Structure 1
Amino acid sequence: MKVVVELADEELWLLAEKAIYWPRRHTLLIADAHFGKAAAYRKLGQPVPTGTTQTNIDVLNRLMRRYPCTEVIFLGDFLHAPESHALNTLAAIGTWREAHADVSMRLIRGNHDRRAGDPPEALKIEVVAEPWLVGPFALQHEPQPHATHHVLAGHVHPTFRLRGKGRQSVRAPCFCLGPRISLLPAFGAFTGGMNVSPAPGTRLYLVADEGVWPLTHD
């Protein structure tokens, strides 16, 4: 399921897979994949799930089959840590990249990328500093305002908590679209999140139950 929105006079599709598709450019925008995060934790002796990198790759493959895609832009934090350069992690990413060799890929370097190091050159992912200006958008990792362009960013891993009766509540990732800065949820399957509250002029879209749901606030 997707929700079609207009932002900076461009049509964007908010996807239930926690990504944005820009149909005019056939571009997929991904924030905070954090490939190899579980591998990094296991190296530190932490008991964490396995297979999270492959889960992320499976979702990417599904998106790239569903939507005509000539470009993928990662808004920072492609790899989680130096330990994410584990052989199994890089082999899985390499297989995915080879399957989409004709697709242009770019990474806007984020804070975890600076620590983890750039992806291996064999992946053919161009790495650039923020902001990367494309059309009306400043594509960034950090959600800092830009003087002339609307910012699309990650880093925050935005979530929203819906409260029901009594102590009932549910917390889910969300898209947070503001007047000057818009945030994508973290794409990675093994990431935390930070609760956000809607400011005036901000639209929130909750990702839950394999769909994207606009939240109305009085």
Structure 2
Amino acid sequence: MSTYAVHTIKSAGHTALHLLPEKAAWLPAARTLLVADPHFGKAAVFRARGIPVPRGSTGGSLQTLSMLIERLEAQQLVFLGDFMHARESHSEGTLDTLARFRAAHASCAMTLVRGNHDSHAGDPPPTLNISIVDEPFIVGELALKHHPDPEPDHYVLAGHLHPCVRLAAAGDAARLPCFWMGEHVGVLPAFGEFTGMHPVRASAADRIYAVAAERVFALPPAQERAAG
């Protein structure tokens, strides 16, 4: 059974944020699911540019999203930027897969907070019924963004960095996606299956939650300082 971690955002009125092993976050008080950097259609972009990569990454990500929406009974889904990877992502196959996903969850409100890739890829088609906004998108005491820049009056939840942590033991090492929760800004791991990762450089005050084997676990301070 998968396990999640609960992070309390104290600077935002003690807001409880559930950090899920599916690399998503859940705001139970707002019935809102958050995902960052899905980069839908990235594999299609690679194939269009002559790089042979496997198919199915978009479908796999959407299956995970469907499971989360149904399990949590989410009323709102917010994408924290980089919905599609590039112009070539608007392929017939990718758009058909997205359309089936949206139809299956017609009662769930969906919002995209534009990121840097969205400016190049273009907005999702209107038929997907996804609200498109520029950052920040305010939900209660939180500012939902793509770029992890602080806001004066809100705690920020963002993406963009694709954070990971390097853990080493007995001569072996692994890089794991992670949630990087700072004093004023929290960064979600990239949700997309076909995305890169970048090690974080955490301060002693930051909280790092690694994702592995269907669980989310907090790293002790010494490991946090060694992250990256």
TM-score, normalising length: structure 1: 0.98
Residue of structure 1 equivalent to 2:28: 23
Shift of 1:170: 0.6
Runs of 4+ with deviation above 2 angstroms: none
Q: How many residues align?
A: 217
Residue type at the aligned position of 2:150: P
Cα separation, 1, equivalents of 2:4 and 2:209: 11
Is 1:171 paired with 2:175?
Answer: yes
Cα separation, 2, equivalents of 1:212 and 1:47: 32
Q: Give the alignment's Cα RMSD to 1 decimal.
A: 0.8
Is 1:4 paired with 2:9?
Answer: no
Is 1:124 paired with 2:126?
Answer: no
Q: 1:24 aligns to what SS in structure 2?
A: helix
1:108-158 deviation per Cα after TM superposition (whole angstroms, max 9, x unaligned): 000000100000000000000001111111110001111111110000000
Residue of structure 1 equivalent to 2:185: 181
Is 1:46 paired with 2:46?
Answer: no
Cα separation, 1, equivalents of 2:83 and 2:100: 16
Residue of structure 1 equivalent to 2:218: 214
Shift of 1:197: 2.6
1:19-71 deviation per Cα after TM superposition (whole angstroms, max 9, x unaligned): 00100111000100000000001000001111001000110011111102100
Cα separation, 1, equivalents of 2:28 and 2:180: 20
Shift of 1:200: 2.5
1:147 to 152, 155, 170: 152
Cα separation, 2, equivalents of 1:62 and 1:134: 23
Query: Larger % of helix: which?
Result: 2
TM-score, normalising length: structure 2: 0.94
Conservation of the 8 A alpha-carbon contact between 2:204 and 2:221: no
Shift of 1:177: 0.5
5+ long unaligned stretches in structure 2? 223-228
Cα separation, 1, equivalents of 2:208 and 2:191: 17
Conservation of the 8 A alpha-carbon contact between 2:110 and 2:131: yes
Residue of structure 2 equivalent to 1:80: 85
Q: 1:38 aligns to what SS in structure 2?
A: helix
- Which stretch has the larger CA shift, 132-141 or 113-122? 132-141
Cα separation, 2, equivalents of 1:177 and 1:212: 13
Residue of structure 1 equivalent to 2:101: 96
Cα separation, 2, equivalents of 1:187 and 1:200: 26
